[in-house]
Amino acid sequence: MLKDKRIILGVSGGIAVYKAVELLRLLTKAGAEVHVIMTRAAQEFVTPLTFQTLSGNPVHTELFNLIAEREISHISLADRSDLFMIVPATANIVGKIAAGIADDMLTTTVMATKSPVLIAPAMNVNMFTNPIYRENEERLIRFGYRFVAPVTGTLACGWEGQGKLAPPEVIFEAALETLTLKDLAGRTIMVTAGPTREEIDPVRYISNHSSGKMGYALARAATRRGARVILISGPTNLAVPDGVELLRVESACEMQAAVMAHVEGCQAVIKAAAVADYRPIDRKSEKIKKKDETATIELIKNPDILAGLGAMKSPPFLVGFAAETGMVREYAEKKLTEKNLDMIVANDVSQIDAGFNVDTNRALLLFKNGSSVECGLMSKDKLADKILDYIVTGLAPC
């Protein structure tokens, strides 16, 4: 996701330095080339060797190091970066940058950069709320610097309050967001995700193994790319991506009502939800008691939400999913045609790395014009971006 991106990770002193190590791991895992700059205070907490080993690049610590300057100067480091991050950022470093002080490798390089700067502060709550710090942060925001707010909790100093470094995953997401082209700006995209639950009685229901991971990955990626995202989700345990408009539903009928109430104004609908095809014909208001050796529940067909969208007079760009356990292409082609879709994402859910509840997928994309693309094993996040690439291509110009 960050392939070919060059990131400078500036690390200033504070107990949260160890979390910058975790962030570095996330950045390099996503394919970024990371160059670390550490202040003197940061080196008191974690040695440069840790960052050097994980980044695969020498760590910059001294401004006037002739050997390092000959290999890659602080100016060329600043020039060649796509993103400059400071994690954790102390009140001191924020104050110095806001005041235009450049007296070490980190402050000098950040002043020389033209790339976006993302700062994740961590400090004592009283420092964080100090009007001097607040003014420094606001000043930098006015100049276009971006901040990832610290979270509230027990601080290393023993105080309770806001000042804990944001989790590395949150900072990583902010980095991705900063580096992502906003090719879905001005678009509204609806994503349905997760399973539906069809109640039998007050304590039981019919459902399926869908975790919602693919739908949530799509919602997160579309938001990052600038779309307004309406996420209609069945029950899941997943964290709601920042910035999406979430509507929680339980049953297929509730999902249908939510979809139809919000479809107007959407340029694309991605139906990643695993909708239950049937529901009990008669939901009992009392718990069904155990009686005979066998029991039968009579079911009735649920409305096909996607087919309903496909039958609209002028449907939005429609993307369906086909979770199959065999004859994947044949069944998916049938769904593509019968539901009048622009595109369908088919996968064989009997494979352990491409089914429900895993972080990877192996999909076959089929298009209305008869073309198809095989996507080998990849993370659901990566597949989400691939699907969105095709949606961007398929949408009429704004």
The residue within the footprint of ligand CTP, chosen from 21, 191, 200, 273 (CB under 6 A), is: 273
- Give the whole-angstrom CA distance, residue 52 versus residue 96: 26
User: Which residues participate in catalysis according to the annotation?
Assistant: 157
391 binds ligand CTP (CB under 6 A): no
Size of the site for ligand CTP (CB under 6 A): 14
Strand arrangement of the beta sheet that strand 6-11 belongs to = 33-38, 6-11, 83-89, 117-121, 146-147
- Residues within window 288-307 making contact with ligand CTP, judged by CB under 6 A: 302, 304-306
B/e letters for 33-51, b = 16+ CB within 10 Å, e = fewer, are bbbbbbbebbbebbebebb
Stretch that binds ligand CTP, among 239-247, 269-277, 347-355, 366-374 (CB under 6 A): 269-277
DSSP state of 199: E
Q: How far apart are CA 240 and CA 247, in angstroms?
A: 11
Which member of 82, 201, 277, 348 binds ligand CTP (CB under 6 A)?
A: 277
189 interacts with ligand CTP by CB under 6 A: no
Does residue 335 interact with ligand CTP by CB under 6 A?
Answer: yes
Is there binding between residue 275 and ligand CTP (CB under 6 A)?
Answer: yes
Q: Widest CA span of the chain, in angstroms? A: 86
Determine the distance from the C-alpha atom of residue 163 to the mean position of all C-alpha atoms in its chain, rounded to a whole number.
24
Stretch that binds ligand CTP, among 120-128, 231-239, 321-329, 358-366 (CB under 6 A): 321-329
Near ligand CTP by CB under 6 A: residue from 323, 365, 366, 387: 323
Angle at 275 between CA 273 and CA 279, to 5 degrees: 160
Candidates 8, 21, 93, 322; binder of ligand CTP (CB under 6 A) is 322
Encoded tokens for 246: 């979430």
CB of 332 to ligand CTP, least distance (A): 8
Using CB under 6 A as the criterion, which residues of the chain lie in contact with ligand CTP when the complex forms?
A: 252, 271, 273, 275, 277, 302, 304-306, 320-323, 335
